[in-house]
Amino acid sequence: MRYVLHENHYLITDVKRRLIDLYGHKPGYELEKLSKDKLEQKIDYCDHLLNLAARLSPGQSEMRGYLLWEKHGCILRLTQWDWIRMKCTTNQYINSLRAVCESLREIIAILGPIRVDSVEGGNGLKAKNALEELEEQLHRLEKQTKYRDTVFILRDVRNNSKFNRRSIAL
């Protein structure tokens, strides 16, 4: 169908939006059960619709907030997936989490002021809670990483043949 219709045709964009709604929310397609390919596909769909929305209605909109929220879940899941499988370093993981926090701040800025009893307002509240949890996790991880880095530096200095107790200030 993509060879017959333009990528921005409403039928194509509507199918992508419906797949975004489906992946991560419907039974059998929960975010935790999605394959890496499906997560990446959902991110691609979100990026395409975000680019289209930026041209059609620039600035902050409910549509932008919704798409960022959906994309955020996939990015966080892929980031955790890579870290658990040791496909990235702890510092790369921390940087990815910082980027996710920035995305959550934008989502909160867009969806936060909307009525809490609406779906969008509820997502804004979920984003606020997710940001608090993520920042706490990030803080603990950074603290552990700084401690570990300090221990490795001290061990390296002490293993140096020219080590002298006075050469390092603890």
Residue whose pair of structure tokens reads 């779906």 in the numeric block: 119
> pLDDT tens per residue, the chain (170 residues)?
557 888 889 999 999 999 999 998 899 899 889 999 999 999 999 999 999 999 998 889 999 999 999 999 999 999 999 989 989 888 889 999 999 999 999 999 999 888 778 888 888 889 999 999 999 999 998 888 775 555 455 455 455 555 444 444 44
3 occurs within a structural domain? no
2 occurs within a structural domain? no
104 occurs within a structural domain? yes
The residue segments making up the domain with residue 155 are: 10-167
Model pTM score: 0.79
Give how many domains the chain has, as a whole number: 1
18 occurs within a structural domain? yes
17 occurs within a structural domain? yes
